[in-house]
Structure 1
Amino acid sequence: MHALRGLDLAVAQGTVCGLLGPNGAGKTTAVRLLTTLLHPDAGSARVAGHDLLREPAAVRRRIGVTGQDTSVDGDLTGRQNLRLFARLHRVRDASARADELLERFGLAEAADRPASGYSGGMRRRLDLAASLVRRPDVLFLDEPTTGLDPASRNRIWDTVRHLTEEGTTVVLTTQYLEEADQLADTIALVDRGRVAHTGSPPELKALIGAYAEVVVTDADVMVKAAGVLDRLTGAEPALDRDRKAVGAVTRDPTLTLPRLVRELDSAGVPLLDASIRPPTLDDVFLRLTGSKELVA
């Protein structure tokens, strides 16, 4: 039984690579291997220019990791947490580096309060700050915004963008496809222990085409609407009986909204709504992995 088999991945410096895939695809195993938390049975990898097998200590000195669970000590203040991490990593002038990160992450006013009293977003920002105390070349983020409110999530996104502008390479796993769409320069769809597809969000979306959807007035005509979409798109339509909606992916550029409405009208399908929209990463994920579930 192999968790990973033939996984091939290259990430350019100063970019964000999003690892997406269904449950059990091998993403977490890949991250644990690349951060030296697991030892591979075979294969090779280089992280920040260092061989993972021959130079694991050098790899650890060049990376930062923010996991799903916060690593900060709730009994310590924000300032004490960052000073502790800086000293553990033998950062020169740990106090100055802690103060710099507290200011950067908007935590200066709460710096001398125990971290146990921080909100979820503040603790997440403190955790991310802790992973940056020694200015890593490669930063691994494992679901960095899970459970955060939109304002806190946007602040993390801005921080990630700023890091890549400074030259940091980011490897991101996330359960939010919108997050991957916003942040990732490239996305690697991992399936059954290998990279099944890779490309920028626009490149991956172009692989599957647009999404046509109609909402009908009566559930009894959904099958008839599905037949029209099947004929026009050549793809198996998906039925959402609660919304009385029928949708299908189309790569036919000649399928316009007026044509879709005319064909449905000719077939005697009464409509409430109709649309043809560009694909989302949700569509890409479901189509290219054949999965109904995303677990990062």
Structure 2
Amino acid sequence: MVEDLKKSYGNVAALDGVSFEIKQGEVVSILGPNGAGKTTTVEILEGYLKGWSGKVDVLGDDPLRGGLKHRERIGIVLQESGVEPYMTVTEILEQRSRWYREPLGIKGVIEEVGLTEKADALIKTLSGGQRRRLDVALAVVGNPELIFLDEPTTGFDPSARRHSWELVKALSKSGKTILLTTHYMDEAQALSDRVIVMARGQIVAEGSPSEIGGRQESDATVTFTLMDPTHLDKAPIKYEISGNKVSFKSSNSVRDLHALTGWALDYNIDLAGLEVKRPTLEDVYINLTEGGK
């Protein structure tokens, strides 16, 4: 739980009254442009930053005073982590597991992150995606309840990103609570139970990926291609046309599509490329972070 969290650097307010709560087992993504305050927020929750005001409760503890028992209950995947390049995957996990009282089995962790074939490989020989999977393995080997993932797929190719998503989903299904920061809208859409959008040190929106920013209530945009506009003036819609592309806004897409398809049947018209779209998460994000409402 975070309540009225504030943090300043000199005269610059990095956080200005941030409040939110994460439930056990949730995957929550924090989105925001550079300087929005998301990294500062996460570093406070991880216990790395001092000099803030407000209330922060992480697994029942103040992150600055939780001590060793608290640290064992969290796992952190940083954007960059330094590990000994001349150790093998198994060796580094065995070393780290000794830091914890109830670690997970090394073999099972390696299998879970998809590194079975690299178990005896030197860390320096791993690809970028494999290194990131090792970072996750190091974060979960202590069997934490809460995992922080900071930009987990930055620099990944599309295939590696998809594999990482499957790993996050597997961790979520195992009951872990996950706080994720990302710049990728599709990543937040695919993984999150809830999304928090930050801008200028404040939370500007919060909700499920499908609901945030009023997405479900927003008008849909219906588009189709019409090769012959002869009967378009009789269409039961207020349309715009550009070339052979016809579009219109709809507050009730079921009703309007019923009327549109009825008109098309009456005049034997093919509604080629018919699409119904609502604002994407990226549309909402841009609107919120660039000062829109």
Shorter chain as denominator, the TM-score bin is 0.7 to 0.9
Contact 1:212 1:277 in 2 (8 A): yes
Q: Secondary structure at the match of 1:79?
A: helix
- Matching residue within 3, 19, 26 for 2:30: 19
Q: How does 1:51-70 map to 2 (within 5 A)?
A: 51-70=62-81
Contact 2:77 2:139 in 1 (8 A): yes
One of 66, 87, 90 as aligned partner of 2:100? 90
Identical counterparts, % of pairs: 37
Tell me how far apart the structure 1 counterparts of residues 106 and 73 of structure 2 sit (CA, whole Å): 19
Q: Which residue in 2 is equivalent to 1:206? A: 216
Look up the match of 1:8. 19
SS in 1 for 2:131: helix
In the superposition, relative to structure 1, how do residues 123 and 54 fare at CA in structure 2: closer, same or farther (>3 Å)?
A: closer
Q: Which position in structure 2 is the counterpart of 1:32?
A: 43
Distance 1:46 1:247 in 2: 49
> What amino acid sits opposite 1:279 in the alignment?
P
Is 1:102 matched up with 2:110?
yes
Over 3 Å counting, the alpha-carbon distance change for 1:67 and 1:111 in structure 2 is same
Q: CA deviation at 1:47?
A: 0.7
Unaligned runs of 5+ in 2: 1-11, 226-237, 240-244, 261-271
**Separation in structure 1 between the aligned mates of residue 202 and residue 68 of structure 2, nearest angstrom:** 26
Give me the CA root mean square deviation. Answer: 3.4
Secondary structure of the structure 1 residue equivalent to 2:79:
coil
Which residue is equivalent to 1:253? 252
Does 2:260 match 1:284? no
Secondary structure at 1:131's aligned position in 2? helix
Corresponding residue number in structure 2 for 1:77: 88
Contact kept, 8 Å, 1:16 with 1:184, in 2: the verdict is: yes
Mapped partners of 1:133, 1:164: distance in 2: 15
Distance 1:105 1:53 in 2: 30
- 1:75 to partner: Cα distance: 1.8
Distance 1:112 1:132, change over 3 A: same
Query: Out of 193, 197, 217, which is 1:189 matched to?
Result: 197
> Could you tell me which of 95, 114, 124 is aligned with 1:116?
124
Secondary structure at the aligned position of 1:17 is classed as: strand
* Structure with bigger RCO (C-alpha 8 Å, 6+ apart): 1
**TM-score, with length taken from structure 2:** 0.76
Give the structure with the higher percent helix: 1
Q: Please, which moves more after superposition, 178-187 or 147-156?
A: 147-156
| CA positional deviation for 1:152 | 2.2
| 8 Å CA contact retained: 2:33, 2:199 | yes
Scaled by the length of structure 1, the TM-score of the pair is 0.75
Q: Contact 1:3–1:192 at 8 Å: present in 2 too?
A: yes
Conservation of the 8 A alpha-carbon contact between 1:208 and 1:287: no
Letter in 2 for 1:65: I
- 1:112-261 alignment runs, 5 A limit: 112-204=120-212, 205-206=215-216, 208-211=218-221, 252-253=251-252, 256=256
The CA distance in 2 between the partners of 1:198 and 1:246, in whole Å, is 34
Out of 32, 42, 60, the residue aligned to residue 49 of structure 1 is 60
SS in 1 for 2:17: coil
More strand by share: 2
- How many residues are matched? 259
Q: By how many angstroms is 1:22 displaced?
A: 1.8
CA distance in 2, matches of 1:195, 1:207: 21
Q: CA deviation at 1:211?
A: 4.5
The aligned residue for residue 226 of structure 1 is none
Distance of aligned partners of 1:100 and 1:258 in 2 relative to their CA distance in 1, 3 Å threshold: closer
By how many angstroms is 1:25 displaced? Answer: 0.7
Indicate if the aligned counterparts of 1:33 and 1:40 stay in contact, CA closer than 8 A: no
Match of 1:264 in 2: none
Relative to structure 1, is the Cα distance of residues 150 and 59 closer, same or farther in structure 2, using a 3 angstrom cutoff? Answer: same
Q: Gaps spanning 5+ residues in structure 1: where?
A: 216-231, 234-244, 261-271
